A and B are shown apart, each in its own frame.
Chain A
């Protein structure tokens, strides 16, 4: 009788968990996702691969809310994401029911990461093939937070981060260009970072902005196009400024 309780994720002789590393490969093949934390605004942006003509794009939402004050974007296996998001949503309400307080961003991140870790140490299951970017405002202090989890179950807080396809290029860009921003500047920074690897245009990226007062707001395609146009104009002006001084000398 075959027994399916043997662990699938076991150590290799040189101390690697190959299943977890393969899961990270799956993440690297997923859509690019970027998160930027400002002083009063947090932004999530996700690459939207060209939607099929007959597909209703509204049914493919890549940035979801877990509670009134917490949102999540991910890169990797979207079906795995559905399961994880569902469990997180239940935990958000369960926490409110038992302790009469909303979750903190750190709590729910720890919960999701814990879930991902459990699946690297259980029999007969494979790890979740996704990394998440979790944003939210602390319900008491009002401080904005951005966290990232990965298939191994580790998590940490970030000022800005990216995951998925070409995340290294995006992270490099962010490291070079990050500064404390607020409001619309934070949105622009996130979109500029995403445009490093994604084709320009509102129909190729999905952007959501979270503020303390209004919660999560998905930006319309037209809004994104407008901001992209602003960014392009700024880039053109910067290019022109570079050329102009050399003409004068």
Chain B
């Protein structure tokens, strides 16, 4: 509606910025930034819409470090940032982590998948600066050690979701810190941490809110450890792929303890038999929707038809790892 005089001024300075702020929450990040550049009126109006500055997603972008540095120039605005996705941004170092976390005290979700440069130093900054953390993804950050878990346990009491897949330097001592101190945890991913033992696994029972547990590759997990885990009554998703020391005893304990299981993988466990399926069917037949018994040669009746008889809600027969 550009023309001369008042009506065009009101279009530029009031109508357009107002509409842009109303529409901004439904736009992609890239479009929001285009709008910033449209006019000074849009720029100012958009900076005041706090919800669009809550999420920053740089996952797998090239030159993520530079981008992050530039984003920090938005300074004040990023104080409200709640969700930061740096998955696959492999060049970001502890220094970058310090910079971003010191600007974002409200951060709730921080994803750093596959960042091999991250060390205890970076973790120190995260836990000191971001006291509101609910969800932390450190999958593949193979340079972090038990000290990190001590730091997280001491500082992140509100943590609900932790992924330490493939952080192979971690040992029982470190994990125990998390299990004892992060009592609000609902999701815990310990995929490919094959050096852990029952000494730590038993303490998973402390997590009364746990609904999701991934123990794929836990080759030292025994029935004793698994029986303790059965104390997590709210478990809905349990991945025991390649937990080769587990037998019927452990799985039956799970069946009796966790009666709202929706996903279970016993993939590759050769010592479980039909007995454990019967126990599971007794308690979780009205909730189980995914069951992976591929490679469970001890189970004789594992055709689709047999499984559907025991678990009528089954939709999915293989858990992808």
| A and B are interacting partners | no
User: Which B residues fall within an 8 A CB radius of A?
Assistant: none
